Amino acid sequence: MLDHSICDDFVMTLLKQRSAVAFCRLLDIGVLVALGVLLSGCGQGVRKPQPIVPPQKITLTGIPACDSYLNSYLTCHRAAGTYPVDSLQTHYQTMHDTLLQEASDPGVRPYLANRCMGLAQQLQESLQGRSCTAPNTTSR
């Protein structure tokens, strides 16, 4: 008769090896899945708002009143609290593009200096005596 204990030992050893290999593969997959889940959350963190850097004082339109207004736009609107900080750059870009377009229109250009002086005056009034460099104490 065949000794079954040798066969049983062989089968058990083989099963243990296969189980160990299967366990290691599952462990590898589990580690990869866990790592993927952890890394996928990295892009979902709270983003800090980027600081708004005022542009250098440059001639943009060729109309001194408009260039002055654009050069002070970000700091003065931030100090006045006119717009939420996260949308201020978008408002600046819109005003910048509009004034540049109007400055290049011969039918509008002669009236643009008065318009920019009016915008600057409105901005000064919204500051209510504060300086453009003063931090805004009432954030929106």
* Cα end-to-end distance, the chain, whole Å: 91
pLDDT confidence tier of residue 119, bands split at 50, 70 and 90: very high
Flag whether 109 is in a domain. Answer: yes
89 and 121 within one domain: yes
Q: What is the tally of structural domains in the chain?
A: 2
104 and 72 within one domain: yes
Flag whether 50 is in a domain. Answer: no
Residue whose C-alpha is closest to residue 56's, from 71, 66, 68, 69: 71
d(CA 89, CA 91): 5
70 and 37 within one domain: no
The tokens of 42 are what? 């990295």
- Any residues with CB less than 8 A from the CB of 71 and at least 6 apart, and which? 54, 55, 57, 58, 60
CA 65, distance to chain mean position in Å, is 31
Flag whether 108 is in a domain. Answer: yes
d(CA 121, CA 119): 5
More confident residue, 96 or 133: 96
Question: What pTM value is reported for the model?
Answer: 0.54
Query: Mean pLDDT across the stretch 51-58?
Result: 56
Residues 123/70, Cβ–Cβ less than 8 Å: no
Query: Tell me: the pLDDT tens digits for 71-115?
Result: 888 888 888 888 888 888 999 999 999 999 999 999 999 999 999
Q: Which pLDDT score is estimated for 137? A: 47
35 and 72 within one domain: no
> In terms of residue numbers, what domain contains 36?
4-41
d(CA 38, CA 49): 24
